[in-house]
Each structure stands twice: as C-alpha cells, then as structure tokens.
Amino acid sequence: MPNLEPSPVFKRRKTEGDPVSVHRIQSNQTMKRWTTKREHQIYSSKLFQALCRSRRTSSSTSAKELHQTADRVLAITAKGTTRWSRAILAAPLTAGTNMKKHKRAKVTVHTRLRKPVVNREKRKLPVVERKLKALRRLVPGCRKLSCNNLLEETSDYIVALEMQVRAMTAITEFLSRGEAQAPTDRLGSIGNM
Amino acid sequence: MSGRRSGSGVSSISDDQITHLVSKLQQLIPELCARRSHKASASKVLQETCDYIRNLHKEVEDLSDRLSQLLASIDTDNDQAAIVRSLLM
C-alpha cells in the first residue's frame, strides 16, 4: 500500500482537508492541469504575453532567457502545489550558472575522479540508487526528496513539460505561419488550432 | 517502513517503494507504455525516465531557440492582442 505520509509539501498548502485525501485529489488534478486544451491555451497565451513583455524591456531576448521565462510561466501554472514549481520560481534569474560554479568549487577534482571506483567497493550504491539520484538532479528542487514524493514530483513535472512542448510548438507554428500570410488571413486560419 | 530514515532520503530505500515508483513511472513514459510492462526492470524504467526528461528539456531548449529567432524578426506589438485572442480560441 502506498505510504502517503504528510511531507513538508502539504504543510505549506492552504487547501483544507486532511493531507491524505488532499494528496489523492492532487493526483487527479495534476492530470487535468496539464492535459486539458483550456489549460494549454491559457499557458500559451500567458507565455506569449510574458515574452512580448520581456522583449519590450530588454532589447534582445536570448534563447536562454526565453527558456527561463517559459519555465517560470509553467511553474506559475502549478500554483505553488509542487516542489519543482516552487524551486523554479525561487531560483534567481540567470544566476543558475553561478550557483553551479559554486557547487563545483566545493568538490575537489580527485574525489570526483575516484567516485566510480569507490562506489563499487565501499559505497555499494546499487544501480537503482544511482539512477534515482540522477532523476533527483533532473527535477528541480528535488535533490533530497524521498522516493514517494519524488514520484509525485516527477510525474507532475513530466506532464507539465509535455504541455510546455505542445504550447511552444503551437506558438512557433502560429508565428511562422503568420509570417507567410497577410495579417488578416492569420485570424481566420487559426480557429482550428 | 523498515529501512526508511527521515534524515537523508537516499540511503536504504525499501524495495516496495522502488517498485511502486517504477510501476507508476512506467505509465508515463511513452517508450515503456508501448512495450509490455512486465519486462521493464527498475533501472531501465529509471533510465528511460531520466532520458525522457532530458529529451523534453532539449526540445524546450530548441523551441526557445526557434522562438527567440522568430520573435526577433516579427514585430508583435501591434498584433499582440489579436494573437492572444487567436491562441485562446
């Protein structure tokens, strides 16, 4: 039976009801949040507006900033219910690379080189554990998360990323189609998107 | 649950938890849905999950690249309201 004990995630949430039932409802809502057409439309329009805004403030938008904006709008859509979304919003803008440098400075080179050998003999981290660690690094804000919570965060994150890809593809196709046609044609042909 | 320590989440995760995690993840990853579910080992599912997330990240990166180029060449300010309306339809 899955262990649905309350974790720090639930203490911060403002919804009522006992943590276990909220948790179950959350899983159903997760799917709806990222898979309905409506949510997709809302995200793509919000993203587009955010991109136009950032273009107005800075002279050029690099791909990296755009990616960051897309991630932040995606995280906002989660409405603070998941750890990965909060981690994205809490991270300072374009300081990601600086933080990574700091982390690398702490770990000395020879330790890193020795790691693969030491693992097998003394650390005896099995393959599964190592892969779990890799997964934790991929999902934002989940480096110290337990197995069950990691599952929730990962499944939510994956579905959210899929929506992000769909939305950005739609915007890209829309804009590139708009280039080829006259502005008046654009409105007529997009109704079936 | 035996073997579960609250201090660090990494050490001694029980097999049950891993099995549960793996079976749930399997349903989400397109690669694994297509094949018969019983044959995928835990490490394979986790590997596929990591690869899938990395692929999604890469796709978003490429899309950001394309979009930034597109936006640079289009003047969207005038049509912005119209575009947003179309996206919402």
The DSSP secondary structure of B60-82, one letter per residue, reads HHHHHHHHHHHHHHS--TTTHHH
Mean pLDDT of A171-185: 67
**pLDDT surpasses 60 at A117:** no
B24 in contact with A, Cβ within 8 Å: yes
Do residue B56 and residue A165 have CB atoms under 8 angstroms apart? Answer: yes
Q: What is the pLDDT of residue B26?
A: 82
Distance CA A173, CA A130 (A): 39
Give how far Cα A161 sits from Cα of A15, A122, A158, A193, B22, Å. 25, 37, 5, 20, 19
Higher-pLDDT residue of A89, A189: A89
Do residue B86 and residue A63 have CB atoms under 8 angstroms apart? Answer: no
B7 in contact with A, Cβ within 8 Å: no
Residue-wise pLDDT tens digits, A129-146: 888 889 999 998 888 888
Residue B71's contacts (CB-CB under 8 Å, 6 or more residues apart) are: A51, A55, A61, A66, A175
Residue-wise pLDDT tens digits, A15-60: 444 444 444 444 555 567 788 888 888 888 888 888 888 877 777 7
Residue of A nearest to B72 (CA): A60
**Which of A135, A165, A170 lies nearest to residue B49, judging by beta carbons?**
A135
Q: What angle do CA A114, A134, A65 make, to 5 degrees?
A: 110
Higher-pLDDT residue of A129, A105: A129
Taking alpha carbons only, the member of B9, B19, B46, B50 closest to residue A8 is: B9
Distance CA A177, CA B61 (A): 21
Taking alpha carbons only, the member of B26, B24, B27, B7 closest to residue B16 is: B24
Higher-pLDDT residue of A187, A66: A66
Count Cβ–Cβ pairs < 8 Å, chain A vs chain B.
166
Angle of helix A37-57 versus helix B42-73 axis, rounded to 10: 50
Residue of A nearest to B4 (CA): A146
**pLDDT surpasses 70 at A128:** yes
Residue matched to tokens 């899309």: B63
Mean pLDDT of A79-100: 75
Do B53 and A138 contact (CB within 8 A), yes or no? Answer: yes
Residue B5's contacts (CB-CB under 8 Å, 6 or more residues apart) are: B11, B12
Residues of B in contact with A131 (CB under 8 A): 43, 46-47, 50
Mean pLDDT of A159-186: 77
Residues of A in contact with B86 (CB under 8 A): 174, 186-187, 190-191, 193
Distance CA A22, CA A27 (A): 9
Percent of chain A with pLDDT strictly greater than 70: 60
Q: What is the pLDDT of residue A124?
A: 59
State how far Cα A14 lies from the chain centre: 21
Domain residue ranges of chain B, discontinuous segments joined by +: 15-88
| Three-state DSSP class for residue A4 | coil
Residues of B in contact with A166 (CB under 8 A): none
Q: What is the pLDDT of residue B42?
A: 82
Q: What is the pLDDT of residue B3?
A: 47
Residue-wise pLDDT tens digits, B18-44: 888 888 888 888 776 766 556 678 888
Do residue B67 and residue A178 have CB atoms under 8 angstroms apart? Answer: no
Residue of A nearest to B83 (CA): A187
Q: What is the pLDDT of residue A116?
A: 54
Q: What is the pLDDT of residue B44?
A: 86
Q: How far is B31 from chain A (nearest CA, A)?
A: 13
Preferred mutation among A35, A161, A166 to probe B, highest tally of B CBs within 10 A: A161
Residue of A nearest to B79 (CA): A183
Average pLDDT value for chain A = 72
> pTM of the prediction?
0.69
Preferred mutation among B11, B14, B86 to probe A, highest tally of A CBs within 10 A: B86
Higher-pLDDT residue of A103, B22: B22
Do A179 and B74 contact (CB within 8 A), yes or no? Answer: yes
- Torsion sign (Cα): A53, A58, A64, A65: negative
Give how far Cα A183 sits from Cα of A13, B22, B84, Å. 45, 49, 14
